[in-house]
Structure 1
Amino acid sequence: MGARRRYDLVLNAYARLDAYLKELWTWLQGQPGYRGRTHLLITTDHGRGHTPQDWRHHRSTVEGSESVWIAFASPRMARRGEWHDAPALSSSQIAATLANWMGVDWNAEHPSAGAPIR
C-alpha cells in the first residue's frame, strides 16, 4: 500500500488530487474549444472498508469495499454538490453516462447496464 498504513498520507493525496482537478477544470473552462463543452467524470475502481481497522483493505469480504464514489461536472447536468436523499448510484452507470454525454445510447447495445446518471 502506497500510504504505508498512514491515513494522513491518504488525506494529503486527496488534497493534491483536488488541487490538480481544480487546475485542470480551470484550464479547460479557460479554453474556447472546451469551455461549456467538456464533461469530467472521476471515480474509483473499488471502495474500501469503513473502520480504522479495515480502511486499507478492499477485498470482497470487507464491508464497504463494494461502494465507490463518483464525481462529475458536465454542461448537461445541474450542479448539485453532494447528493443527499437521492437514489444510490452504481458503477454500472458509468459507461452509459459517458456514452450519453457523447450522444450514444449505451443501453441499446448493453441492456443490462445501468441507466445514465442524470
Structure 2
Amino acid sequence: MFHDMNLVEISVISILTTIVSYVIGDLLILRMAGNVKATIADFGLSFILVLIISYLLVGYDLPLITLSLLSSFFITCCEPFLHGFIVNEIPPIRRHDNRTLNQLQTEVAEEMDVYDIKK
C-alpha cells in the first residue's frame, strides 16, 4: 500500500499466505496446541511467508523486513477471532480408527441357561 507493489503482487502474497497459514496454523497447530500457541505460530509463519514471497516477487529494493513485520502484526491481531470461529464452527478432521487388539473392548453379560428358560 505504501510502496510500488501492484494489486497482482499483493493478491498473490495474500492468497499464498492465507492458504499455507490456514493449513499449517489453523488446521494442525490450533487443534493440537491451542489458541495462544497457534497465534504465535501464525505470526512467525506469516512473517516468513510474506518476507520470502515478497522478496521473490518484488525484489530487495523495498524494506521487506519492516513491511513483513507490520503485515504479520496485523494478521496476528485478527487470528484469535478466526481461531474462535474455526474451533466453534468447523468440525475436526476425523481420522480412521486405528485401534490395536489390546484396545478393543468386549461386552460381558450373564447369559440365561437354555434349560432354565424351558422350565
**Which has the higher Rg, Structure 1 or Structure 2?**
2
Which has more helix, going by share of residues?
Answer: 2
Class of the TM-score when normalised by the shorter of the 2 chains: 0.3 to 0.5
Q: TM-score, normalised by structure 2?
A: 0.32
* Larger proportion of strand: 1
Determine which structure has greater relative contact order: mean sequence separation of CA pairs < 8 Å that are 6+ residues apart, divided by chain length. 2
